[in-house]
Chain A
């Protein structure tokens, strides 16, 4: 097992290196330059100032030099300074990441806690009314865009009935420790963000559970005279959870990058908005840091997933 993990980790390094190189190249060869965007429309800017700015941002170096110096800084975990915000990128991430994680973990929990049982219940009573409802929701949850749900939530629950705030994490002037106020702000974005997850996991669980319930080993278990509950929750469920683990595999990276749409609609100060704004403004240090971090987490989470597979199914370890 130890060697298996080590081998996986070593394989991750070139992958990560490749991701940064490709995204660096993609960004730099796409049209649009951060400095000309910055100064465009500002009247009376001098050519000397533009040259000084390019130097200030390190854009006057050749591309290989820029990439190498970026790599060199990454080795010291220094992501550089944002062009736009004049702040260290690390500080900006440390300010946005906890907000994104808070929202992501809450909505993931909602999605799993509701989605998995829904799928199992639907499978157990296949063809029933409950099954129909779960199946319709499975389609609708995917088809309804989360921003649309977000707007609907805001219009109905915030504007019309005044039950929840329109956006933000905390009412201006309230204490950071006001848990009730924080929860009120969390409801809308957390539900909006978990919708697709609920739909996804319930659908997946339903299909898998049905599939497994039809297999020989389940019939054998039933023939042994095990109680139906034991068959379902001990034997079927453990196997049916495998694809959920697969689905969760890439999730860590997604969680950390945040949800642009939900953060945008609910004014949530997270990673998604920060990365989007940086991408639009060609703020390379932030974009590259985001690519690096989500690339790193993606690699790590795939490794973790492989290990989890190894635990669930010993054949994988070979």
Chain B
């Protein structure tokens, strides 16, 4: 899944805070090196701080990061991606296999799997979860399963079972109607619900029945497969989970895992300092201050996703975005490393194509790094026949290199990038006019508005936009870059390239690791050359954890910060 990280208010008042931090920071002790961990002991509680509450603790209805943070502690999946590479690894399934044609997936469950209440876990729980997803009227998760043979028929009520899922003892076989390589990760990492609890909401013969309004969505049952079991939820305050003694990877050392909501960024950072919360991921403005705290460990790792500037090729008056030279110039002409250093204090990576540099599918070889070069940017613009006008802005045939550059004001990182871009583009004779709009309105502009001239081809009413993607662990990027997604999909900049389409289709149908890797390298090379976005940068996840918490193994993919949660322990 991918969703937008939006940080709330709080950072607005940074200037005041910075001043105070300066005064009081003078008294703070400087960072000390981390001491040795000692021997793990059982007991204690970890408090995870979050700026927003979970919404719904059901994987079928989930659309946001906080909900995922919590429900991924409760429910488990067949496979899990490796934290370092994003490749699938065993989880509830000890073995898994994809057929070379990408249509048949086989999972073999571990022995002796049980839910926290002692009910045996079986393939039926998996099948039930797929059925419940297909019958839901409020889910956005059907794409994980809809190509399974018979899945849509089950969803619409034409069938009373999903023929494509066959359970045989410990073996689950899933047959797809068409090749779907990303399914191994997308379907395999989907969280599985207990049929013993939710089963009553479905009726094989009645497609109108579903679990969209089940009370267990917001008050989960004490039946979990994950390391922790639900205990209580005080809305907008905290959620408490308790140890699952029957966890299949061993009884967790922690007694409790608490998710505490502290909506204000400054207060969240303060709570981390005082130990009111143990674990926070923070936005860049708090990095410098928290790094000075001797009681905190700092982890920094790249996450799949990036902040970019998209050039709308279907916007009347901005046809110059259809010119590759201009797009490349707009990458050369912006010192992205300086932006990373300024915003993220260097904790990030410049992006020059789509695939996350940490992914197994990424290969830097053959990609232009687009090192900052203002002179080269101007040469490229001139090569396309543009000449500088009296106002210092390039123009050709009466059309100036001038466009609206949109972003949303509640995201300080994007706003800073906007300011820097406007300044630096002016220096290469390009006039970017900064515009801001609240996030929901901006989303409407990107996906629903119609350009006066190109609206019928899927053109939207904006020139350029600064926004970001959070990406799935699988490298599949069809829904963002395939030309079929230009009308109404996430390819809202109207980019179309048959070679990219081919590579994305190959990535979905040629399932061998090497074949997929080749496909995504091809895809990245095309994007790297075309520069339909200025691919901007990937900011690191900035994680601070109180040193009393030990045993962490955070990483970019999979369970990310919560990897190996059963091994976490509290230093006495």
Report yes or no: A158 in contact with B270, Cβ–Cβ below 8 A: yes
- Contact partner of B440 among A37, A148, A167, CB < 8 A? A37
How many Å lie between the Cα of A38 and that of B444 in the bound state? 11
Q: Mark A254-283, 1 if CB is under 8 A from B, else 0.
A: 000000000011110110011001001110
Query: Of residues 91 to 109 in A, which have CB atoms within 8 Å of B's CB atoms?
Result: 92, 95-96
A-B contact pairs, 25 of them (CB 8 A): A38-B63, A39-B63, A40-B446, A43-B472, A46-B146, A86-B213, A87-B218, A92-B235, A95-B236, A148-B13, A151-B16, A151-B17, A155-B20, A155-B21, A160-B27, A166-B267, A168-B237, A172-B47, A172-B240, A173-B256, A267-B262, A267-B263, A267-B267, A280-B439, A280-B440
Report yes or no: A86 in contact with B267, Cβ–Cβ below 8 A: no
How many Å lie between the Cα of A154 and that of B8 in the bound state? 19
Query: Of residues 1 to 53 in B, which have CB atoms within 8 Å of A's CB atoms?
Result: 1-4, 8-10, 13, 16-17, 20-21, 24, 27, 45, 47, 52
Chain B residues in 8 Å Cβ range of A31:
437, 440-441, 444-445
How many Å lie between the Cα of A112 and that of B238 in the bound state? 33
A162 within 8 A of B: yes
B470 within 8 A of A: yes
Determine how close the nearest CB of chain A comes to the CB of B539; give it in whole angstroms: 16
Query: Of residues 215 to 239 in A, which have CB atoms within 8 Å of B's CB atoms?
Result: none
Which of B134-142, B337-345, B517-525 is the interface stretch?
Answer: B134-142
- Contact partner of B218 among A86, A155, A167, A264, CB < 8 A? A86
A152 within 8 A of B: yes
Report yes or no: B441 in contact with A267, Cβ–Cβ below 8 A: no
Most buried by B among A148, A151, A282: A151
Q: Mark A75-91, 1 if CB is under 8 A from B, else 0.
A: 00000010011110000
Q: How many residues of A contact B (CB 8 A)?
A: 61
Chain A residues in 8 Å Cβ range of B212:
56, 86
Residue of B at shortest CB range from A85?
B55
How many Å lie between the Cα of A38 and that of B440 in the bound state? 9
Chain B residues in 8 Å Cβ range of A32:
438-441, 443-444
Determine how close the nearest CB of chain B comes to the CB of A274; give it in whole angstroms: 7
Knowing A166-B262, A269-B234, say if A33 contacts B9 (CB, 8 Å).
no
Which of A47-55, A243-251, A302-310 is the interface stretch?
Answer: A47-55
- Contact partner of A151 among B20, B47, B143, B217, CB < 8 A? B20
Determine how close the nearest CB of chain A comes to the CB of B221; give it in whole angstroms: 16
Knowing A86-B61, A167-B262, A267-B261, say if A274 contacts B448 (CB, 8 Å).
no
Chain A residues in 8 Å Cβ range of B2:
41-43
Chain A residues in 8 Å Cβ range of B480:
43
Knowing A46-B146, A151-B16, A274-B236, say if A282 contacts B440 (CB, 8 Å).
yes
How many Å lie between the Cα of A52 and that of B136 in the bound state? 9
Residue of A at shortest CB range from B236?
A269
How many Å lie between the Cα of A85 and that of B444 in the bound state? 22
Chain A residues in 8 Å Cβ range of B559:
none
B457 within 8 A of A: no
Report yes or no: A43 in contact with B217, Cβ–Cβ below 8 A: no
- Contact partner of B267 among A52, A95, A148, A167, CB < 8 A? A167
